[in-house]
Amino acid sequence: MSNLVIPNELVAPLFVPSTFANRASVEGMLARLRKDYPLSKAEVPGYDPHWIVTKYNDVREVSRLDDIFHSGDRSKTVVSQVAEQMMRDYSGGQPHIFRTLVHMDKPDHTAYRDVTKDTFMPQNIAKLEGSIRETVRRYIEKMEKFGNEMDFATEISMLLPLEVICTLIGLPKEDHPMMLRLTQWFLSYADPDLCRPGSNITDPEQQIKTWQIVYDEFKNYYGAVIKDRQGCPRHDIASIIANGKVNGCPMDERSMISYFVIASTAGHDTTAATIANGMWTLAKDPELLTRLQADPSLIPGFVEECIRWTCPAVAFVRSAAQDYELSGRQIKKGDLLYISYLSANRDEEIFEDAHVFKADRKPNRHIGFSYGSHICVGQHLARLELRVFWEEIIPRLKTLSMAGEGKWQDSEFVCGPKYVPIRYEFN
Amino acid sequence: MSHQEYKKWQCATCGEIYDEELGAPDEGIAPGTRFEDIPDTWMCPNCGASKSDFAIYVG
């Protein structure tokens, strides 16, 4: 059995958003944890102890056993003891500011997920392909008009999935920039370029204050949308949520606002990250672009590898509701577990050449959308957007290269590239 | 003897489809394997839901 407690100098950076701006460093750290400290404990001052779960099979087991490893009893992300207490103070005793699907356990999780589940089933998402393809073509036209250089992250990848999900929710186009801004304040709260203006990102309490501000902003905005859709339902997701019943009853306010929050944030941010990182990967590998152009049947595999490679939902926290033996370790009731999807998707014992991007990787059972009943409800929409985008742009690209250094966000929770400068020519 | 048509089954949790004609070779399930012939311990390869969470696919 390997060491039980991980040295702080190795594990403490995992809890710090700025660490994730250096992707190579993070991946090196996770590789060392998998090798020397698989399923060991972090005892970082200021934080409750966490089991650090880095191996693919362990991450899948914890994710799947959601009756044992709860999502709703403690903070879903790594927060300091001070920050978690603040969340309880703000939310009337709850360990979260938001109460999204991510923060729920059975039976509520199942009941709330059922409200939108059918909408996101693959056979229903497939009907959107035509409209998504039209949207993608507009963004490619924008690239053509832009010239030969752009920051692809800001100009394309952050906007395209935003437009897709906001349109499906039923929001007018003039409100999409606000949704992007609130998403970044929420998920990239510690990134100096994307955080809420005026927030002090070195102050851990600011994270919670920012989340409360974001919650209030969403509540103010969606209050009117909910009233409108309850009075006059339309064919949009806003109407489904606003009129959604849970066990025959209307949702409580915090759960309904949070439902809109998860749709308006996770519904585009993770797809944006995956598109951006895919472009970054292609821009550094002209041979890969040539292969995809010669054989477009590789594109679905390219999409799956982009998801594994990017893994924008880096990690979540679960808490043990009962004692459990996991890979020979005794997990005690109440223990916290940091489960790293990014690490699982680089597990050398599961993925051959795990640190190599392979568009033709097969099988590729990554868990970039998580695993178990909490698996991303929007996964089929994300896959469709990614596939259509690459099907449309790959044949058009005559040349592609980086026009500068790309940059990752400072974010330990949901993380993607924030800057992908490219130089390109179209056929 | 008439050949019974292959069916598709869908995971109620994640939407994954099991197509009897294709099987799931990556999971060790040969093409042509009927859903009822898959072991009860089998789990959805996408999300880990149990076999009983699958229902006939309605496309």
Query: Does residue A68 carry a pLDDT above 60?
Result: yes
- Token pair, residue A113, equals 């997920």
Q: In A, which residues are within 8 Å of B10 by CB distance?
A: 121
Q: In this predicted model, what pLDDT tens digit does every residue of A83-95 receive, in sequence order?
A: 999 999 988 999 9
pLDDT band of A205, cuts 50, 70, 90: confident
Q: Do B26 and A60 touch (CB under 8 A)?
A: no
Domains and CATH numbers, chain A: 8-426 (1.10.630.10)
Query: Does residue B2 carry a pLDDT above 60?
Result: no
Helix (H), strand (E), coil (C) string for chain A:
CCCCECCHHHHHHHHCHHHHHCHHHHHHHHHHHHHHCCCEEECCCCCCCEEEECCHHHHHHHHHCCCCEECCCCCCCCCCHHHHHHHHHHCCCCCCCCCCHHHCCCCHHHHHHHHHHHHHCHHHHHHHHHHHHHHHHHHHHHHHHHCCEEEHHHHHHCCHHHHHHHHHHCCCHHHHHHHHHHHHHHHCCCCCCCCCCCCCCCCHHHHHHHHHHHHHHHHHHHHHHHHHHHHCCCCCHHHHHHCCEECCEECCHHHHHHHHHHHHHHHHHHHHHHHHHHHHHHHCCHHHHHHHHHCHHHHHHHHHHHHHHHCCECEEEEEECCCEEECCEEECCCCEEEEEHHHHCCCCCCCCCCCCCCCCCCCCCCCCCCCHHHCCCCHHHHHHHHHHHHHHHHHHEEEEEECCCCEECCCCCECCEEECEEEEEEC
Query: Does residue A105 carry a pLDDT above 60?
Result: yes
Q: In this predicted model, what pLDDT tens digit does every residue of A380-399 receive, in sequence order?
A: 999 999 999 999 999 999 99
For chain A, give the mean pLDDT: 96
As for the ipTM of the complex, it is 0.94
pLDDT band of A176, cuts 50, 70, 90: very high
Distance CA A113, CA A206 (A): 30
Residue A200: predicted pLDDT: 83
Q: Do A64 and B48 touch (CB under 8 A)?
A: yes
Question: pTM above the 0.90 mark?
Answer: yes
Residue B13 has its nearest CB partner, among A362, A363, A373, at A373
Q: At what angle do helices A253-283 and A108-117 cross, to 10 degrees?
A: 60
Q: How large is the average pLDDT for residues A178-184?
A: 97
Residue A207: predicted pLDDT: 83
Q: In this predicted model, what pLDDT tens digit does every residue of A19-55 receive, in sequence order?
A: 999 999 999 999 999 999 999 999 999 999 999 999 9
Query: Does residue B1 carry a pLDDT above 60?
Result: no
**Percentage above 70 pLDDT, chain A:** 99
- Token pair, residue A274, equals 């995956």
pLDDT band of A206, cuts 50, 70, 90: confident
Kindly report the nearest CA distance between residue B17 and chain A, in angstroms.
Answer: 9
- Token pair, residue A92, equals 């009337």
Q: In this predicted model, what pLDDT tens digit does every residue of A274-328 receive, in sequence order?
A: 999 999 999 999 999 999 999 999 999 999 999 999 999 999 999 999 999 999 9
Q: In this predicted model, what pLDDT tens digit does every residue of A218-270 receive, in sequence order?
A: 999 999 999 999 999 999 999 999 999 999 999 999 999 999 999 999 999 99
Distance CA A121, CA A116 (A): 9
| CA dihedral sign, ordered A257, A263, A268, A271 | positive
Residue A300: predicted pLDDT: 98
Whether residue A64 lies within 8 A of chain B, CB to CB, comes out as yes
Residue B40: predicted pLDDT: 96
Whether residue B28 lies within 8 A of chain A, CB to CB, comes out as no
Kindly report the nearest CA distance between residue B19 and chain A, in angstroms.
Answer: 14
Distance CA A296, CA A371 (A): 29
Residue A2: predicted pLDDT: 61
Pairs from A131-137 (Cβ < 8 Å, separation ≥ 24): A132/A164, A132/A384, A132/A385, A132/A388, A133/A388, A133/A392, A135/A160, A135/A163, A135/A164, A135/A167, A136/A160, A136/A385, A136/A388, A136/A389, A136/A392, A136/A393, A137/A392
**Percentage above 90 pLDDT, chain A:** 96
Kindly report the nearest CA distance between residue B1 and chain A, in angstroms.
Answer: 33
Q: Do B15 and A120 touch (CB under 8 A)?
A: yes
Query: Does residue B59 carry a pLDDT above 80?
Result: no
Q: Do A60 and B48 touch (CB under 8 A)?
A: yes
Q: Do A380 and B46 touch (CB under 8 A)?
A: no
